[in-house]
Amino acid sequence: MKIRPQRLRQGDTIGIIAPASPPNQENLERSLAFLEQLGLKWRFGKSVKNGYGYLAGTDEERLADLHDMFADPSVKGIICAGGGYGSARYTDKIDLQLMQENPKIFWGFSDITFLHTAMGLYSNLVTFHGPMLASCVGKETFHELSARMFQQLFEPMELHYTEEISPLETINGGVAQGELVGGNLSLLASGIGTKFEIDTKGKLLFIEDVGEEPYRIDGLLNQLRLAGKLEDAVGIVVGDFSAVEPKKGKASLTLAEVFAHYFGDLGKPVVKGFKMGHCQPHFAIPLGVGAKLDADNRTLTILPGVE
């Protein structure tokens, strides 16, 4: 069993860090009103306003913020300002024992997938794949359902995803239960062959991505296939794949054809269409908890992520 972090309470302080690229500062400032509505105080990491090329400060600065927030007992949870690129550059230097000994809410997605995987493997910690402050919360497109998903941090609640939220499509029927793992497909593929390789054995694998053409998604799924990750999983939860159109005039398979190729004969439940990922609404989920995918009835049930 993974360690579920303690729930948040009104008046708690959360740490805001930028583990990857520099966040949009205007959006980040706008997002603070939402944290106020939730009754939360906040503390910025030192590198949140830094810039080092395409990174929010040096690897050492961003890593220090991550360690600092987990080590500080007054910080009850950590929400990432944004993603982009760069989390994997220092993952091998993270004190993952520190996180296991100081379990707390850790929330983000996209490039943050690499950190989710590392914490799941070596800190035994339940983490949260959810919309970030500058890249989602502080934008005018931030959806009411996305906002409601933060309530799962304040009380243990079972999550139920049905077609009331979005149309779902069954690629393969059946029912599967297991620990929910995964995140951004590109980041999952980049971990193959490293000590941060996703473990899908007996688990439900969740994938999402943005801005990748069908041939790129094909290649990423093939990498997971060749590494045995699709075979090991008990089922596949296909989240949002946005901005994936092939370049104009270029011959291409459709994304549906790519999914059919990799999942059609897999012999286990696969459902696509979940609004999880680079989309609004963004249905936030805990990673590392038990879940049940019913591909026949097109539902996903996820156990609570906090104590």
- CB contact at 8 A, 110 and 83: yes
CATH class assigned to 159-302 = alpha beta
Query: Which of 110, 123, 135, 146 is labelled catalytic?
Result: 110
* CB-based burial label for 73 (10 Å; 0-12, 13-18, 19+): exposed
% the chain with pLDDT above 90: 98
In this prediction, residue 86 carries a pLDDT of 98
pLDDT at 249 over 90: no
Percent of the chain with pLDDT over 70: 100
**Quick one: 286 exposed, middle or buried, by C-beta within 10 A (0-12, 13-18, 19+)?**
buried
**Res. 38: pLDDT tops 90:** yes
- Find the distance separating the first CA and the last CA of the chain, reported in whole Å: 13
Rounded to whole angstroms, the Cα distance separating 13 from 299 reads 35
137 in Cβ contact with 108 (< 8 Å): no
Question: Which residue in the list 61, 179, 208, 213 is annotated as catalytic?
Answer: 208
Q: How confident is the model at residue 248 (pLDDT cuts 50, 70, 90)?
A: confident
The number of angstroms, rounded, from the C-alpha of 237 to the middle of its chain's C-alpha atoms is 13
- Report how far residue 258's alpha carbon sits from residue 171's, in angstroms, rounded to the nearest whole number: 12
Q: CATH 3.50.30.60 region(s) of the chain?
A: 159-302
Q: Are 236 and 230 in contact (CB under 8 A)?
A: yes
pLDDT at residue 238 is higher than 90: yes
Whether residue 143 lies in the annotated active site: no
Active site residue 166: no
Q: Averaged over 214-229, what is the pLDDT?
A: 98
CATH class of domain segment(s) 13-153: alpha beta
Residues of the chain within CATH 3.40.50.10740 domain(s) are 13-153
pLDDT at 284 over 90: yes
pTM: 0.97
Give 135-167 pLDDT, tens digit per residue: 999 999 999 999 999 999 999 999 999 999 999
Distances (CA, A) of 294 to 77, 169, 171: 32, 12, 12
Lowest mean pLDDT among 19-28, 44-53, 218-227, 241-250: 241-250
Q: Using one digit for the tens of pLDDT, what is the confidence trace for 60-76?
A: 999 999 999 999 999 99
